[in-house]
Amino acid sequence: MSQPFASRPLVIAPSILASDFAKLGEEVRAVDQAGADWIHLDPMDGHFVPNITFGPDAIKAMRPHSKKIFDAHLMIAPCDPYLEAFAKAGCDQITVHAEAGPHLHRSLQAIRTLGKKAGVSINPATPVSAIEHIIDVVDIVLVMSINPGFGGQSFIPSALEKISQVRAMCAGRPIDIEVDGGVTAANAAEIAAAGANALVAGSAVFKGGTMDSYKTNISAIRNAAASARGEAI
Ligand code: DX5
Ligand code: ZN
């Protein structure tokens, strides 16, 4: 059976949020070697979301530990004053929230002007129609399947319908469809079948706390998603 949703490569993106912050560089190296495609980074400001994590300086310190794509998911508002700092810190792609400011189109253009891939993220309460008019200036659509701020929450099932809607909106465009929150080996197949090609996972990757467990955890998510896409494992 042909799988129209499999047009973009499958990506597993471990979220550093679930790693041991006392050894960030080591953790980045570990998930890199364990098979991560992208390294997902979650700056939070205690304002847009009710938690505070890390900013550009911490990302700059992690950068030498991997050559993989640094995928920054900014949960900060305003975001515009900090885009250049995240770009200079070594982020390859920068995703901003549709809810984070009144000038989303401008923010996305600014990211592209910095030479980086531009992503837009939508919270669980935000309809897919919110990104209809900026779809031509994005490289990534990130569908949140939890309320952002914390790892370890359960996947909100209505995200699946939103992923399908985003897939229809993105048809024919070179856009990665990313899903973030509560992703596990148990739901990776239905997420991939709905049309997401980039799966972010924090707790499901870092559980176990060792390189071997990261390898097993990443493979389990990858294999579940790959078979749903009709790809050989
Ligand atoms: C939460 C972050 C996620 C988080 C996901 O706001 O955007 O990237 O790390 O964690 P899990 O996979 O544990 O839900
Ligand atoms: Zn994230």
Please write the tens of the pLDDT for every residue from 11-66: 999 999 999 999 999 999 999 999 999 999 999 999 999 999 999 999 999 999 99
- Domain architecture of the chain: domains with CATH: 11-228 (3.20.20.70)
Q: Which two tokens stand for residue 136?
A: 């031509």
What pairs with residue 120 in β-bridges?
A: 96, 141
155, 200, 214, best to mutate for ligand 1 pocket (most atoms within 8 Å of CB): 200
Does residue 13 contact residue 40 with C-beta atoms inside 8 Å? yes
17, 214, 221, best to mutate for ligand 1 pocket (most atoms within 8 Å of CB): 17
The confidence score (pLDDT) of residue 88 equals 98
| Residue 4: pLDDT band with limits 50, 70, 90 | low
Which residues belong to the active site? 42, 180
Q: Which two tokens stand for residue 178?
A: 């990313």
- The ligand 1 atom at the shortest distance from the C-alpha of residue 155 is 14
Query: What average pLDDT is seen over the chain?
Result: 97
Ligand 1 pocket (Cβ < 6 Å) reads: 15, 17-18, 40, 42, 73, 146, 148-149, 151-153, 180-183, 200-204
- As a whole number, mean pLDDT of residues 149-174 equals 97
State yes or no: cis peptide before 78, omega within 30 of 0: yes
pLDDT tens, position by position, 65-97: 999 999 999 999 999 999 999 999 999 999 999
Does residue 4 contact residue 228 with C-beta atoms inside 8 Å? no
What letters, b where the CB count within 10 A reaches 16 and e where it falls short, cover 208-221?
eeeeeebbbbbbbb
- The ligand 1 atom at the shortest distance from the C-alpha of residue 205 is 12
Of 149, 94, 93, 142, the C-alpha closest to 121 is 142
- What pTM does this model have? 0.97
- The ligand 1 atom at the shortest distance from the C-alpha of residue 148 is 6
Q: How much of the chain, in percent, has pLDDT values that exceed 90?
A: 96
